[in-house]
Amino acid sequence: MNHFFQEQVLPMLHKLMPYGELGPRVEVRQTPDAVVVLAEIPGLKHPEHLDVRVQGTMITIRGEVIREDPEAEGHDLFYTERMYGRFSRSVPLPVAVVPDRVVAKYEDGMLRVTMQKDTLQPGTHVPVDFS
C-alpha cells in the first residue's frame, strides 16, 4: 500500500497542484519610501529557477523548485508536504513603484524584493525644461 501511494498517488497530486493552490506565501509591507514584498520559497538552488517582474502596481514571482531525489541519497520517501514544481504568483502592490529601482535578494528560503515608491502620482504636474 505504501509503495502504491509513493509511486501512484503522490506524483498525481503534485501534477495537479505542484506548488500548492496559491504559490508561495507572501507578505507586502510599506515604509514611507518603499514597498517590500517577502515571499517564502524554500528549496531554490539556482538563480535561473526564479523570475521576478514588476509592472505598475503588480509584482509577479515565477519559478521552479526542483525535487531532490531521496532515493539518490539512499532514502525511501514515506510522506512529504514539501512543495515542488513550477509556481507563479502575482500580488497587487499598494502603490506604483519605480521599475528600475527594484532590488531582490534570496536568502535562507526567503525572497525579499524592495521597491522604491513612485512619487509621481497620477495627475502630478511635471515641469518641462526647454533648452
Question: What domains does the chain contain, in order, with CATH numbers?
Answer: 2-117 (2.60.40.790)
State how far Cα 82 lies from the chain centre.
16
User: What span, in angstroms and rounded, lies between the C-alpha atoms of 39 and 24?
Assistant: 6
Best CA proximity match to 37, nearest among 100, 91, 101, 99: 91
User: What span, in angstroms and rounded, lies between the C-alpha atoms of 74 and 28?
Assistant: 40
Q: What is the pLDDT of residue 114?
A: 96
pLDDT digits (tens, 9 = 90+) for 18-62: 445 558 999 999 999 999 999 999 988 888 899 999 988 999 999
